[in-house]
Structure 1
Amino acid sequence: RITDQGAKTLVETIAAIGRGEVTRTPQDHTKATLAPPLTKEMARFDFTRPAKELHDLVRGMNPWPVAYFEEDGKKMKVLKSRVAAGSGAPGQVLALSPLTIACGEGALELTEVVPEGKKPMAGTAWAAGRRLKPGDTL
């Protein structure tokens, strides 16, 4: 959907430039700022934050430094997630298939994770290996 809309907008914009209907607006360099370099600490999160914010962090920190949380003193990287419906105490396991964790607002499905020292796996597989059950807290 985005590709189709982007292509349509590009064609319209190029045509408008050709007709002289587009005016250039230079950037005001006095208002420009530089984003800070990413650090591993920026990628750390906890489930007290809203699910949407955590999902955006997961997407924004991939492929490096990769969003993570700590569980039993070990890093759990989150490669893919989805915002889900649900509520509970932050960090509470709401469902196992898919692995759904309550956040400060809403819930987050952990669809692909990387436990410290392991290979990527589905969140559901990790939960099964940890013998998690609904109501447990991370």
Structure 2
Amino acid sequence: MSCKSALYAAMQTPTAVAVDGVIPLGSLIRRYGCDVALNGNAVNITGTGYYDVDASVTVTSTAAGTVTITLYKDGVAVPGATASETAAANGTVDLNIPALVRQVCCAAGSALTLVLTGVAATVNNVALRVQRV
């Protein structure tokens, strides 16, 4: 698949994340083009068009309950870009989010983040790919 810009980030250091907390994305592994950039716990997208987003997150819940990960664009949940699973206390779950987001014409840029809801958890692994198609 050809693309105009791409970014791959990964985080493999277990990190506690509170409910409603932004999930750390780790380090930049690969990057191509100038339309995507890792900026702390967010990916900034700047070029007009569509972006294919694939997130894979492994978490260990601190209590029994439903663990939910949601993709946000500029602080607003992306419709349908959420994954949930019920976990036992100290149970590990794998959550995957495939999504397509749009950066509209004349926008200054947007920030993509992953947010944890449901129960607090330790995030063990994050793999995030964002590419402008």
Fold conserved (TM > 0.5)? Answer: no
The bucket for the TM-score relative to the shorter chain is under 0.3
| Bigger Rg over Cα | 1
Structure number having the greater helix percentage: 1
Which structure carries more relative contact order (alpha carbon 8 Å, separation 6+)?
2
What is the TM-score normalised by the length of structure 2? 0.25
